Amino acid sequence: MAWFRRSKENISGSQKKDLPEGLWAKCDECGEIIHKPALEQNLWVCQKCGYHFRISSKTYIAILTDDGSFKEMDKKLTSKDPLGFVDTKPYKDRIKESIRKTELQDAIRTGVGMMNKRSVVIACMDFSFIGGSMGSVVGEKIARAVDKAIRLKAPLIIISASGGARMMEAAYSLMQMAKTSAKLAQLSRKGLPYISLMTDPTTGGVTASFAMLGDVNIAEPGALIGFAGPRVIKQTIGKDLPEGFQKAEFVQEKGFVDIVVPRKELKGTISSLLGMMCA
Amino acid sequence: MSKMILEFEKPIVELEKKIDEMRTLSDTLDIGQEIQHLEKKVIQLRENVYAELTRWQRVQLARHPERPYTLDYIGMMTNDFIELHGDRAFGDDKSIVGGFATLGDEPVMLIGHQKGRDTKSNVYRNFGMPQPEGYRKALRLMKLAVKFNRPIVTLLDTPGAFPGIGAEERGQAEAIARNLFEMSHLPVPIVVVVIGEGASGGALGIGVGDKILMMEYTWYSVIAPESCSSILWKSWEYKEQAAEALKLTPTDLLEQKIIDGIIPEPPGGAHRNPEAAAQSLKEAILAELAGLKKLKADKLVEKRIQKFCAMGAWNE
Ligand SMILES: [Zn+2]
């Protein structure tokens, strides 16, 4: 990347859009323009500042599981729009549009895979699907992932990336918090490990249910983790928020995250933990 | 007579005032028949108005500042409540109260959100918005109930968990999550009643149980209509539409199979006759407890988990 950094000063805002589409990415944190293949090689972490780009469930699963070992479950579950919800546009249309744009069915992908030759059940959220919001589909897929883990006597790993509950499913989405937590309590009673990995961002009803309930809570560096969003808090108290507030490192400092682990070390760290936690 | 009158309550209250005035005159004039006629009229008027209430108007009723709150209900339903304070870790959150009391013949653990009624008490109660220590106190008391094999009754009435720096630092999300996790498996009957506002995770944080009931003029949803409006419509002006879209009334939630029953309130709402509302609440809780006590603990827990697992709607 050194050749590029030297010439960076020459790239003004107006020239940026002349960059070949799809080949370059700009770091949200430090502004570095990075060659995408190099970024991908580095697991979508900025080599200059360590910023962790938001990545898809597909990418997380590729990073965490052994090549070709992942088998997705419950692929066909889609939201039903049980309330016929309409705000500025119908929820039905939002779902259709999101499915088309993201090529996902909802905000979570679940399945079974091998992690350094250990069988694990993985559930991974996609922030790109309606802000990773939790509705009935997310709740049900997590519930089934727990059942699968119990059947296989395998550990469960949930990777969260969410703005919270999905408003368009109203009370149904609220109840997914209780549903997923109850299922995790079942898993816990079977003595099976649950690793929660919180990525940027993990907020609202997802944090206040399954994301905070890991036997081990892991967070990616710099991830925003909280119950209320920073804007709401600022609005409520009318004061500026402290430096680093609700960042992974801050949440670890306050005692709610066990370890902050850089993306490159995730697979190794989780594997080691599982090795020490179960046979 | 109410000090605070909602817009749609006005014609009813005015008519009632007129009847009261006439009553004071009735010693001197023979207007008994006229009064009777007006009394019938006020009943009819109220029925008409209340049958037509929009969801937003129901939200307003749920927030009526003269509605009975948890401690009011506890005071009217029991006479031996002993409040227990603190989470044994950080402090005592005044927006969640709890303690033992005898309900009918039944010693129970009563826990509920607590709002204030004027500025001073609202500040003291943090407007009924709990912080982590509130949820942790609630869980401590629930475990105390389990230890002595007593049923748990929780009363929900909160505009939401408090969004503040301290609340986040002390793990608001973890406190709520922990309660959901633990409450799913507590081996004693749990009856949950929404008595006012059931706003989001802040309400659900003490709301996992075997029977979920709502009083007639309450709401329960993932978000308050105003906040929903501000996020989805990007303006605070669409609260009426948001309330409609969220389908947040007791009838809605019964239809969605999220709650098990609706507790009728006295004409005009609980604030017009708190004693009658408390009686109605007490009877409903005792009836549910009588049924739940017949179940063995493991069956109770199994059914509770099944109940929450059945909530949701998807295509497959
Ligand atoms: Zn960077």
Mind listing the pLDDT tens digit for each residue in A267-279? 999 999 999 998 6
Closest CA to B309 of A165, A159, A156, A142: A142
DSSP letter, residue A32: -
Which of A26-30, B31-35, B287-291 is the least confident region?
B31-35
What phi and psi values does residue A90 have, to the nearest 5 degrees?
-65, 140
CB contact set of B286 (below 8 Å; sequence gap of 6+): B103, B104, B106
> What is the chain B residue with the closest CA to A74?
B316
pLDDT score of A19:
53
User: For residue A46, how far is its CA from the centre of ligand 1 (angstroms)?
Assistant: 5
CA pair distance B87, B140, nearest whole angstrom: 7
What's the predicted TM-score (pTM) here? Answer: 0.94
CB contact under 8 A, B177 and A211: yes
By Cβ distance, the residue of B167, B201, B245 closest to A205 is B201
Q: Which candidate in B194, B241, B309 is best for mutational testing of the A interface (most A CBs within 10 A)?
A: B309
pLDDT digits (tens, 9 = 90+) for B152-199: 999 999 999 999 999 999 999 999 999 999 999 999 999 999 999 999
pLDDT score of B29:
65
Q: Which residues of A touch B246 (CB under 8 A)?
A: 83, 85, 167, 170-171
CA pair distance B239, B129, nearest whole angstrom: 21
Q: Which residues of B touch A228 (CB under 8 A)?
A: 161, 163-164, 167-168, 172
User: For residue A48, how far is its CA from the centre of ligand 1 (angstroms)?
Assistant: 5
pLDDT digits (tens, 9 = 90+) for A26-62: 999 999 999 999 999 999 999 999 999 999 999 999 9
CB contact under 8 A, B184 and A182: yes
Indicate the Cα dihedral angle A247, A250, A254, A260, nearest 10°. Answer: 80
Average per-residue pLDDT for chain A: 93
pLDDT over 50 (residue A70): yes
Locate B243 and state its tokens.
Answer: 């309330």
pLDDT over 90 (residue B30): no
Which of A1-10, A140-149, A232-241, B82-91 is the least confident region?
A1-10
pLDDT over 50 (residue A6): no
CB contact under 8 A, B164 and A233: yes
The average pLDDT across B14-33 equals: 82
Closest CA to B93 of B161, B16, B37, B36: B161
Percent of chain A residues past pLDDT 70, beyond the cut? 92
- How far, CA to CA in Å, does B12 sit from each of B3, B6, B8, B16, B38? 14, 10, 8, 6, 11
Q: Which residues of B touch A187 (CB under 8 A)?
A: none
Residue B27 banded pLDDT, cuts 50, 70, 90: low
Residue B32 banded pLDDT, cuts 50, 70, 90: confident
pLDDT score of B308:
98
pLDDT score of B79:
96
What phi and psi values does residue B308 have, to the nearest 5 degrees?
-75, -30
The average pLDDT across B72-94 equals: 98
Cβ atoms of A131 and A162 within 8 Å: the answer is: yes
* Helix H or strand E segment including B117: none
pLDDT score of B164:
95
pLDDT score of A2:
36
Residue A11 banded pLDDT, cuts 50, 70, 90: very low
* Helix H or strand E segment including A63: helix A57-64
CB contact under 8 A, A182 and B207: no
By Cβ distance, the residue of B161, B165, B178 closest to A241 is B165
CB contact set of B254 (below 8 Å; sequence gap of 6+): B260, B261, B262
pLDDT digits (tens, 9 = 90+) for A163-182: 999 999 999 999 999 999 99
> What is the chain A residue with the closest CA to B233?
A88
DSSP letter, residue B107: E
pLDDT over 90 (residue B25): no
pLDDT over 60 (residue B261): yes
CB contact under 8 A, A185 and B164: no
pLDDT score of A5:
40
Fold of B59-309: 2-enoyl-CoA Hydratase; Chain A, domain 1 (3.90.226)
Q: Which residues of A touch B184 (CB under 8 A)?
A: 178, 181-182, 185
Q: Which residues of B touch A230 (CB under 8 A)?
A: none
pLDDT score of B67:
97
Q: Tell me how close the Cα of A278 comes to any Cα of chain B, in angstroms.
A: 22
Q: Tell me how close the Cα of B181 comes to any Cα of chain A, in angstroms.
A: 5
The average pLDDT across A55-80 equals: 97
By Cβ distance, the residue of A80, A185, A233 closest to B184 is A185
pLDDT score of B28:
64
**Which listed CATH number (3.40.50.2020, 3.90.226.10, 3.40.1010.10, 1.10.3720.10) goes with A55-277?**
3.90.226.10
The average pLDDT across A140-166 equals: 98
> Considering Cα of A259, then A264, then A266, then A271, what sign does the dihedral take?
negative
CATH code 3.90.226.10 region(s) in chain B: 59-309
The average pLDDT across A64-82 equals: 97
Cβ atoms of A258 and A180 within 8 Å: the answer is: no
Domain locations along chain A: 1-53, 55-277
> What is the chain B residue with the closest CA to A84?
B245
DSSP letter, residue B217: T
CB contact under 8 A, B167 and A227: yes
Q: Is A252 exposed, middle or buried (0-12, 13-18, 19+ CB in 10 A)?
A: middle
CB contact under 8 A, B311 and A80: no
Rg from Cα positions in chain B? 21
Beta pairing class for A71-73 and A108-115: antiparallel
pLDDT score of A3:
38
Which of A104-118, A179-193, B6-20, B118-132 is the least confident region?
B6-20
By Cβ distance, the residue of B163, B222, B246 closest to A228 is B163
Average per-residue pLDDT for chain B: 96
